[in-house]
Structures are given as C-alpha cells and as structure tokens.
A and B are shown apart, each in its own frame.
Chain A
Amino acid sequence: MSRQRKSLSVLLAFLIMLVTILSACSKSDSNAGNGSASSPAGTASGSSAPAGTASAAPTGEGLSNEPITLRMTVWGAPEEVAAYKVAIKKFEDKYPNITVKLQHIAADYDTKLTTMVAGNDVPDIAQMESASIAFPLAEQGKFYNLQDFLSSDTEINADRLVPNITYSLEPGNVIGLGPGPESFGLFYNEDIFKDAGLTPPPAKASEAWTWDEFIEVAKKLTIDNKGRNALDPAFDPKNIKQFGVNFPTWWGGYSNFIFSNGGDFISEDGKSFALNQPAAVDALQKIADLINVHHVAPSPVQAKNIPAPNIALQTKKVAMAIDGQWVSAGLAQSKFNFNVGVLPIMQKPMTTVVSGMFSMFKSTKHPKEAWELLKALMDPDSSIDLITAGTWMPSYRDWYTDPALLAKWTENLDSRPSGYKDAIVDVLLNDSHQTPTGYVKNFNKIMDIVNPALDKVWLGQQSAQEAMDAIAAKAQAQVKGRRDVKE
C-alpha cells in the first residue's frame, strides 16, 4: 500500500513538472515575441507610455526589408473579410517582404481576444468595437497611441479623416481609427408613399421633418388589417398590418434623437448621469410614445416579428425604417424602390456615427509596418467593393468633398438612392455626433442599469422620467467621466 502511494506521488510530481515545463515554454515564447518592440515592463506601465512609440518614430520610410509576418484579427461577414483580403493583397504587393496573416474570428470575438490577451498571444493589429473591450484594453496600455503616427505621417492625418471615427482614450491618445463610418437615416419604400399620395421624407437636413410632422406621416402610413390608418377613430392598434416606422430601441437608435434634442448620456463635464435630464427624457418619451400612444412603431416584442429592414420595407410590413446606412447593401439586393431621407429632428439635425476601429497592439515587433498596414486598411480604394455595395462609407474626407471621388461611390449604384448624398453624406460631414461608446467612460456598466429600465419605458409600463429617475442614483455611481474632457 505504502509503495503504491509512493509511486503515485512520484507520478504526480512528474506530471506537475511536465505541466510547469510546458507552460514555461509557451511563456518564454511569447515573451520573446514582446521583447524587441518594447519590453514587457514597458507594455505594462500604464496608458501614457509614449516612450515605446517615440523610439519607433513612424515615417513612411525606414521600413525593414527583412521578411516580416504581421497578424491581424477581424470579425465580419464574408464580404467584409473579402474586402480586407483585397486591402491586404495590395499591401503585400507593395511590400513584398511582409506577409499578413488574417485571422477571421466570426463569433465570440471579444471572448477569443480576451483569451489571447490572457495567454500573451496577441495580433499586431486587431479590429475592435468601441462598446466592448477596446477601452478596457487601452486603459491597460495595450495599444499604441496612433496620434504619434498620425502627426508625423505624410499621407494621412487627423484632418484627412471624416469626423467621429477617431477613438481616443483621452484627448491626444488615439487608440483606434474607424475604417468605415456609419450613420443613421430614414429609409423608406417609395411605392408606399406614392400609393398613399404622400410626400416622401425630405433628404436635405435644412428641410427635415419636425417630430410632429414625422408622427403625422407615420400615422397615415400605419394600417390595421381592415385597411384603416392610425388617424381613423376605429383604428385597431392590436392588429396592425403595416407599421409607419420601425424604430430600433438599442442605444444607437435612440442616441440620434437624444443628441438632436440637445441631450446626452452624461453631462458635458462628465460628472453626472444625464439620461434623466429633461432633453434626454423628452426624447426617450417621444420615442416610447411612437409605440404606446401613437401606435405607429412596433414595440420591442412586436419588433421581433419584423424581418430585416430590406425585407420589412419591401414586403410593406413597415413604410419607413430608422436604421444605419449599412442596410443599403441589403436594400440594394432586394430590388425595389427604396430611398433614404434625413432623420426627423427634435431640435437640430443629427446623426450618430458608429464604426468599428483598427487598433495596434503595443506588443507588435513591427510598429512601422503595422501602421502601413493599418493605413492600407483605411484606404477607401481597398474597400471600394464594400463601399459601393452599400455596407461601408469611406473614411477619408476628400471622398466626401471631391466631386470625382464622391461620384465613385454614390452615383449610378443600386445601393445609393437619390436622397443618399443629402441625407447620409452631408449629414455625416456636418451634423454628426460621436457614438456615446466613444466618450462615455464605463459605458457598458451604465447601460447595464439603463437598459432594463428602458425595457419598461418601451413597453409603456413607466414614463421615461419615472424610469430614469428610479435608476439615476445607481447609474450615477457608475459614472466615471468623459474621454473627450481633459481631467
């Protein structure tokens, strides 16, 4: 018996040794990977560590001729991945010594990237989402400050980019650049308006509908199963065949109107929770009223039955849909008369710009080359297929202002109807707001508290004021300031 036990403990000791050796091996590997660009200690030393970047002064020249491999991770639909591959192909042709390994993580992107970070095995460039782990990573100093590259690059700089696609940890510390900005518009089925004899939504921001005008039209276009519209006293809100408008009730959807109404998620000084303030509450209440008072928009429960915007508009389940411009791609494929107008306004024309971003990990051994790759990915010429298909918009300002370049992606395309230039392009340039995920610190934690409360508002169980007041104290406790305000 005792002998058996002894053998067993020897075996166990052996196993533990094996495990230790194995883990030590992998660790030393990844440390070697970190070594040359910046020491692991440098990587760890907080967010404002320009030392690492300074040593790797980014200029177009001075790139290594040695064979180099860059790794990048992305998510996205097959056509987006195809566009990245085009950009990478061009890049590799330009720099024959560089190979780019594209890792497409289709599902659970953040979970996988988190695991990679935990295992000290990160890519050189990663696509990131502002609402998720990008800022937590940046706060730990895992990303390069792209401002250093932007300020010294001859081809690309902050002014060349359209507004609101630069993500900063704090003023002057750029952690990511969005390759494809997206804004919101009012998409609609032209035939529905023609048949109803109504004027379609205006495309120019200066002529945008007021909120009341918008409700009026939406009521005329909300039809029950006996053919009565929402202005008819006999209208049956329980059996609606066609909704006037589909209104997405996630923060991207309602943020447009909070900003339009002069409200915000947190106050200008970043000190207080602001969704319970009059401007924001008013906007939220007006949106909830679309559902519960005017019956022109589906509730979140009913919205589960509404198919994708292109199908919903084509099959006349909804007459108008407030959605991101990315739906243009699907609409173009659906082959029907759709168009886009500017969002109705509460106080002023406004759209929220949302976009993924590309970030560069500090652990990269080749920051200069990674920056060149990042530039190649930002180049609208590389993602032109994605842009003309309707999914993306270009990231360079001159593609919006130079008529020749603008024509390239807005003219004679199924995905770009007549209202597009005014309602989407102009509004993005002139009346856009950064996504709250880009400047509200601790956004997710605040929204964990806000979202359940808003469920009740959309369902009509509480007024926006009651619901927001009820959680204000809890939300306030999670307010940690703004990224666009210097502390």
Chain B
Amino acid sequence: MRKGLFYGLLFTSPAILGFIIFTLGPMIASLVLSLTDYNVFKAQTAFVGIDNYTKLFSGEDELFYKSLGVTFYFVVLRVPAVIIVSFVIALLLNLNVKGRSIFRTIIYLPSIVPAVASAMIWMWLLNPDLGLINTILGWLHLPTGNWLYSEGSVIPSVVITTLWGIGGTVIIFLAGLSGIPKQYYESIDVDGGGWYSKLRHITIPMVTPTIFFNTIMTIIGSFQVFNEAYILTQGGPNNKSLFYVFYLWRTGFRDTEMGYASALAWVLFVIILIFTFFVFKTSKSWVHYEGGERA
C-alpha cells in the first residue's frame, strides 16, 4: 500500500509539480498581488487591501465596465453560434457520404492554423474595399459592410472570424454522435418516423452531455478572447472591441500595473466560475445520461 502510494506519487509528480509551480503558485501569487499596488517598475509595493476591487466596481474605471460589456456581448453572440454551427456541421459530417474523411479534414484544418495567421487572413477577407466578402456581396447586389471598422458590426464580425476555428468542437460532437447505438434509429424506422423524429427524440437527447461539455468550454474560451482584439482591432473603433482580457493585458504589460491587472484577472475568474456553475446547475434539467445517473 505504502509502496503503491510512493510509486503513484513518483509517476504523477511531473504533473503535480507542473501544476503547483506553473498554475497554483502563480494563481496564489496573483491573488496576493491583486491586494497590492504592485507595479513592476516600482521598488516599493504596498498592501492596499481591496482598493483595486473598489476601484473596479465603483465605476471609477469606466473601461472595466466597457470591456465587460463588450465581452458579454461577444459571449452571448458567440456561444450559441458555435454550438449550433458546429452541431449542424457534425451532423452533416456524420452522414454516410463519399469522401467523408476528406470533409472532416477540411473542417478541422483551420483549427491547426496559428491564430495570428488566421486573423490576418480574416483581416483581408473582411476588408471593406478589397476584401473577398464585400466583393462577393457586391456581385450579388447585396449590401456590403464595414465589418471590423464600424462600431456596430465589429463584434459580430469577430464572432464570424472565430467560427472558422470550430473544428475541435465539431470533432467532439462527432465523437458524441458516433456513440449513439444504431438500434435506436432502427426502432424509429420501425415506428415509421422520419429524420426529424430521429433528431428530436434520439440524436439531441443522446448528445446533450456533449452539448453540455462544449457549451462550458466555449463559454470559458469566449470570455478569454484575446488574439482577435490584439491582432484584428486593437480594441477599436472607439473601444467597441475592447475585450476584457485585452484590457487586462494592456493594464498589466503596457501600463505595468500588475496589481490592478491581477484584480482584473480574478474578477474574470469569478465571473467564469459563476457562469460555469450556473450552466452546471441547469444541466440537471436538460442533460441526459444514458444510465440515468449524473456524473
């Protein structure tokens, strides 16, 4: 028993060490720092209690609420879009068509393109004057847009660019779909139901655990959006795409106010925690587990 424990710890120690040194340690440090006025360049760091947090919530820092609003808007638009689009794509890829694996590869491919590269591609596609998207819209005599460069359309445009990389989510949906036993569908065939009945009564209930997982991961990922602001918009126009993490980065690394940035980080952590908790709570009523047991 003792020996077992020893070897267990020995073999898991790289992971445990990694977690403690690179995750837990910095987290605790940042929590402590969020209670100070730590500025990298200042020699003296004073303990300021919850001053950073009061500054955040008192409305003194307008950009805090602004960036929070921008990020919420992004999450609200993006999460349903990602889930619905990737689910539909997964359904299509799950059909028994010729060249299925090629389609699957194509859908997944953008996910391995570096974020910076795909952001650059999108910058060109969405270019108001020369971009492919406006050009095609022009041919079809449809209204064109300023996409990333106008206050109203910048967030929806960013959402569109991020849909490009949903291959990972699709793969997880596919895994969920392929786990559904064939005989369920056969029983619907016997009862004379069509594709809609299959979707409504078998496919969707059976993949709710996958939907649940993907929703949580997408929410967490969406709250932490950064590359798009950093590369595509720099927060503009008029701060309309000032994403929370971008603002946090700017506070920490451009203004070097690490203490304050740590407070920002912890607020985001708590917000994500609350959202995740909320989704977990509601999951009881809509997530279906085959054995009837909840995890």
Residues of A within 8 A of B (CB): 3-4, 7-8, 11-12, 15, 19, 43-45, 110-111, 114, 117-118, 132-133, 136-137, 139-142, 300-302, 304-305, 444-445, 448, 451-453, 455-456, 459
Interface size, B (range): 20 to 34
Most chain A CB neighbours (cut-off 10 Å) among B6, B9, B253, B255:
B253
- 23 A–B contacts, CB within 8 A, in A order: A12-B20, A15-B17, A15-B20, A19-B21, A110-B254, A132-B254, A133-B256, A136-B41, A136-B255, A137-B41, A140-B41, A140-B43, A301-B146, A301-B149, A304-B128, A304-B129, A304-B149, A305-B129, A452-B237, A455-B236, A455-B237, A455-B238, A456-B238
Q: Is B5 an interface residue (CB 8 A)?
A: yes
Contact in complex: B236, A452 (CB < 8 Å): yes
Number of A-B residue pairs with CB-CB distance less than 8 Å in the complex they form: 74
Partner of A7, one of B5, B20, B40, B130: B5
Contact in complex: B255, A111 (CB < 8 Å): no
Contact in complex: A142, B253 (CB < 8 Å): no
Contact in complex: B256, A43 (CB < 8 Å): no
Contact in complex: A452, B238 (CB < 8 Å): yes
> Which residues of B sit under 8 angstroms from A4, Cβ to Cβ?
5
Interchain CA distance A309-B266 in the complex, whole Å? 44
Contact in complex: A301, B128 (CB < 8 Å): yes
Interchain CA distance A305-B147 in the complex, whole Å? 14
- The residue on A at minimum CB distance from B249 is A111
- The residue on A at minimum CB distance from B25 is A19
- The residue on A at minimum CB distance from B258 is A118
Partner of B9, one of A7, A118, A444: A7
Contact in complex: A305, B127 (CB < 8 Å): yes
Partner of B239, one of A141, A302, A444, A452: A452
Most chain B CB neighbours (cut-off 10 Å) among A3, A111, A304:
A304
Q: Is B281 an interface residue (CB 8 A)?
A: no
Q: Write the nearest CB–CB distance from A38 to chain B, whole angstroms.
A: 13
Interchain CA distance A19-B29 in the complex, whole Å? 13
B239-259 interface (Cβ within 8 A of A):
239, 253-256, 258
Please give 10 more A-B residue pairs, beta carbons under 8 A apart, in addition to A15-B16, A111-B253: A4-B5, A7-B5, A8-B9, A15-B20, A132-B254, A133-B254, A302-B129, A304-B128, A305-B129, A453-B238
Interchain CA distance A300-B25 in the complex, whole Å? 44
Contact in complex: B236, A117 (CB < 8 Å): no
Interchain CA distance A306-B204 in the complex, whole Å? 49
> Which residues of A sit under 8 angstroms from B20, Cβ to Cβ?
12, 15, 19
> Main secondary structure on chain A at its contact with chain B?
helix
Q: Is B200 an interface residue (CB 8 A)?
A: no
> Which residues of A sit under 8 angstroms from B25, Cβ to Cβ?
19
Closest 3 pairs (CB-CB, A-B): A44-B43, A452-B238, A140-B41
> Which residues of A sit under 8 angstroms from B2, Cβ to Cβ?
3, 7
- The residue on B at minimum CB distance from A301 is B149
Contact in complex: B41, A139 (CB < 8 Å): yes
Interchain CA distance A133-B42 in the complex, whole Å? 12
> Which residues of A sit under 8 angstroms from B258, Cβ to Cβ?
118
> Which residues of B sit under 8 angstroms from A445, Cβ to Cβ?
255
B20-49 interface (Cβ within 8 A of A):
20-21, 25, 40-44
Interchain CA distance A304-B147 in the complex, whole Å? 13
Interchain CA distance A302-B43 in the complex, whole Å? 46
> Which residues of B sit under 8 angstroms from A43, Cβ to Cβ?
43
> Which residues of A sit under 8 angstroms from B236, Cβ to Cβ?
451-452, 455
- The residue on B at minimum CB distance from A140 is B41
- The residue on B at minimum CB distance from A456 is B238
Q: Write the nearest CB–CB distance from B132 to chain A, whole angstroms.
A: 13
> Which residues of A sit under 8 angstroms from B5, Cβ to Cβ?
4, 7
> Which residues of B sit under 8 angstroms from A45, Cβ to Cβ?
43
> Which residues of B sit under 8 angstroms from A304, Cβ to Cβ?
127-129, 149
Q: Write the nearest CB–CB distance from A346 to chain B, whole angstroms.
A: 27
Q: Write the nearest CB–CB distance from A420 to chain B, whole angstroms.
A: 32
Residues of B within 8 A of A (CB): 2, 5-6, 9, 16-17, 20-21, 25, 40-44, 63, 127-130, 146, 149, 236-239, 253-256, 258
Most chain A CB neighbours (cut-off 10 Å) among B2, B40, B130, B253:
B40
Contact in complex: A114, B127 (CB < 8 Å): no
Q: Write the nearest CB–CB distance from A110 to chain B, whole angstroms.
A: 7
Partner of B256, one of A136, A300, A451, A452: A136
> Which residues of B sit under 8 angstroms from A132, Cβ to Cβ?
254
> Which residues of A sit under 8 angstroms from B63, Cβ to Cβ?
448
Contact in complex: A114, B40 (CB < 8 Å): yes
Interchain CA distance A142-B9 in the complex, whole Å? 45
- The residue on A at minimum CB distance from B13 is A11
Q: Write the nearest CB–CB distance from A452 to chain B, whole angstroms.
A: 4
Q: Write the nearest CB–CB distance from B139 to chain A, whole angstroms.
A: 16
Contact in complex: B254, A300 (CB < 8 Å): no
Q: Write the nearest CB–CB distance from A439 to chain B, whole angstroms.
A: 19
- The residue on A at minimum CB distance from B129 is A305
Interchain CA distance A117-B258 in the complex, whole Å? 13
Q: Write the nearest CB–CB distance from B40 to chain A, whole angstroms.
A: 5
- The residue on A at minimum CB distance from B2 is A3
Interchain CA distance A215-B89 in the complex, whole Å? 54
> Which residues of A sit under 8 angstroms from B239, Cβ to Cβ?
452
Interchain CA distance A11-B19 in the complex, whole Å? 14
Interchain CA distance A111-B254 in the complex, whole Å? 7
A142-B41 contact, Cβ under 8 Å, with A3-B2, A7-B9, A15-B17: yes
- The residue on B at minimum CB distance from A22 is B21
Q: Write the nearest CB–CB distance from B290 to chain A, whole angstroms.
A: 33
> Which residues of A sit under 8 angstroms from B256, Cβ to Cβ?
114, 133, 136
Q: Write the nearest CB–CB distance from B133 to chain A, whole angstroms.
A: 14
> Which residues of B sit under 8 angstroms from A456, Cβ to Cβ?
238
Interchain CA distance A113-B240 in the complex, whole Å? 29
Interchain CA distance A455-B149 in the complex, whole Å? 10
- The residue on A at minimum CB distance from B21 is A19
Q: Write the nearest CB–CB distance from B6 to chain A, whole angstroms.
A: 8
> Which residues of B sit under 8 angstroms from A133, Cβ to Cβ?
41, 254, 256
Contact in complex: A114, B253 (CB < 8 Å): yes
> Which residues of B sit under 8 angstroms from A110, Cβ to Cβ?
253-254
- The residue on B at minimum CB distance from A118 is B40
Partner of B255, one of A3, A139, A444, A455: A444
> Which residues of B sit under 8 angstroms from A117, Cβ to Cβ?
40-41
Q: Write the nearest CB–CB distance from A359 to chain B, whole angstroms.
A: 13
Q: Write the nearest CB–CB distance from A305 to chain B, whole angstroms.
A: 5
Most chain A CB neighbours (cut-off 10 Å) among B17, B20, B254:
B254
